[in-house]
Copies of this chain bind each other. A is one copy, B any other.
Amino acid sequence: MTDSLDLLVLGNAIVDVIARTDEAFLAGQGVPKGAMALIDEARAEALFAAMGPATIVSGGSGANTVVGAALLGAKTGFVGKVRDDELGGLFRHDLKATGVRFDVPAATEGPATARCFVLVTPDGERTMNTYLGACQGLSPADLDTNLVASARVVYLEGYLWDPPAAKDAFRKAVTIAHGAGHAVALTLSDAFCVGRYRDEFLALIREGSIDILFANIGELQSLYQTDDPEQAIKALRDERDGRGLHLLGLVTRSADGAMVVKGGEIRSVAASPVGAVVDTTGAGDLFAAGFLAGHARGLDHVASARLGALAAAEVIQHIGARPQGDLVMLAKAQGLL
């Protein structure tokens, strides 16, 4: 018998290797600022050797989201693949330490646990280079059908389109969740990721596989191939699946806050005030965390989006993409919980 979950996240299980850097280093290494680029093992070693002193913390977009939601009181689980190495142990520990269920066994052979080299420039922007390592082993066999069916929301990373078999796990999870009458959420992850898989993401939306879509404005513009943010939001507003249903869209716009797009309507939510922006890594992940935790608590979409904005504001004020402050206390102080 599986206890029901508020949220089950499928994502790449990644440990972040973070270093401060400057624009000249990014230019010298030829990495596009602000994006997430995939790299192979040799490139990972060369980049690590060239970068400055590092801080290692657990990361992974979906994993950051599930941790944030757990810290806001949601009952959560995670599906992803690590290797049985030191960084895999750290990743698993950090999920369990925040109360996230994570039972997928570690790979005992093959590539090491995935790592993302996060280069943070003085403006707080992060540039990511990811070696997927053990994530490439995630497959439908890693899904526990009862666990997936028990979750009121199953949340999937667009990044799962990168490793070869993860998209099969993704599709299987959609089938199980919808079979159980539950909702499926997708994050578009990254504008370059959308560039790689645009047609497949649009097909998922239009075939009715996705009930809740998270995107930042750049990802949405990439999805609809437009330079005009307003046009991208309108395209999302008018999007319907094969049954004529609107999905629920959550669009983040950095300091300009977020938009809730549902049933042909658009509502805006302001960004939460922040002091210094130290490291924007995880802003979108934590917006999704706050929104989904609010949703699980029965808040309406706008109130949930405000909780998302609060969680995003917390995580950009320090290095690393996992919350360091007490999100529940922060939310209560602002009357959001």
Contacts and interface: CB of A to CB of B under 8 A. Distances in A.
A96 B86 CA distance: 22
A286 to B, nearest CB: 14
Contact of A56 (B20, B57, B67, B112): B57
A333 interface: no
A87 interface: yes
A161 interface: no
Interface of A is mostly: mixed
Contacts of A58: 53
A135 to B, nearest CB: 16
Q: Which of A48, A56, A57, A320 has the most CB of B within 10 A?
A: A56
Interface in A307-328: 320, 322, 324
A94 interface: yes
Contact of A54 (B54, B67, B85, B93): B93
Interface in A40-76: 48-49, 51-58, 67
A97 interface: yes
10 contacts: A48-B93, A53-B57, A53-B94, A53-B97, A54-B57, A54-B93, A55-B320, A86-B86, A86-B87, A86-B112
Interface of A: 20, 48-49, 51-58, 67, 85-87, 90, 93-94, 96-98, 112, 320, 322, 324
Given A53-B97, A85-B86, 19 more contacts: A20-B324, A49-B93, A49-B96, A52-B97, A53-B58, A53-B67, A53-B94, A53-B98, A53-B322, A54-B57, A54-B93, A54-B94, A55-B55, A55-B57, A56-B56, A56-B57, A56-B90, A86-B86, A86-B112
